[in-house]
Amino acid sequence: MLEGGAGKTSKNAAAPADALAKPKRRILIVDDHTIMRDGLRALLEGDGRFEVVDAVENGREAIRVSLALQPDLVLMDLAMPQMDGLAAIQQLTRRSPQTRILALTMHKTEEHIRAALQAGARGYILKDSPRSELFMAIESVLNDKVFISPAVAGRIVSAYLDGGEGKQPAVRSLSDSLTAREKQVLKLIAEGRRNRDIAEYLFVSVKTVEKHRANLMGKLNLHNTAALTTFALQNTILTE
């Protein structure tokens, strides 16, 4: 969890001298852990520059509240029930492009970072980052700059130097090998739906969904939900 709890932060201690003269930047917190939501709210509101408009527990609520309240920035967790952060980021980027999104997560893999940025996030920061880094990330994203936590930024650079960008066209061509039903299942997976939800939506058994998921992983040589979601975003399957 982010270092430096609210109890150690006096009112307006970290804010510039003229912070109170400026309109507060409005932030929506999205995380499925109550303690994390409460801690972030106390930390941000204690700073003096920010107003937390709401704190919700999943991507579906994030979209509903964002469209209603139009926050300046959304702090978005990635792993959540009902609709995960990646699917929510993709939809919010399309439906509310003026809202900036900062991914706040424990995931440190290159595929998670790339997926979040490709979905539309303007920043990526880890939950174990220090408080000062969180504020730096928020200010950067609000000022239309991209911020990637220094702890993981090297992964993106390494992937680029290793030729990761050059490999993407070959990966994209694999989408042609998928059946219409497999693309439909892949889209639902990328939207953050569980096997049971997908089965109910398609009027099939959970075992059938599991078989489709296994076929997708086999055909695409991908091994987890995050990788499938990345592939779906790269191939615009979410918008088909």
Could you give all domains of the chain from N- to C-terminal order, each with its CATH number? 6-160 (3.40.50.2300), 171-239 (1.10.10.10)
Least confident of 39-53, 152-166, 173-187, 222-236: 152-166
Q: Which residues pair with 139 in a beta bridge?
A: none
The predicted structure's pLDDT at residue 3: 56
pTM of structure: 0.65
Least confident of 5-9, 97-101, 201-205, 215-219: 5-9
Cβ-count burial of 66 within 10 angstroms (0-12 exposed, 13-18 middle, 19+ buried)? buried
How large is the C-alpha radius of gyration of the chain?
Answer: 19
Model confidence pLDDT, tens digit, residues 17-67: 554 567 999 999 999 999 999 999 999 999 989 999 999 999 999 999 999
Q: Which residues pair with 203 in a beta bridge?
A: none
The predicted structure's pLDDT at residue 156: 67
Confidence of residue 162 (pLDDT cuts 50, 70, 90): low
Confidence of residue 171 (pLDDT cuts 50, 70, 90): very low
**What's the CA gap between 206 and 2, in Å, rounded?**
38
Helix boundaries (H) for 83-149: 85-95, 110-119, 131-142
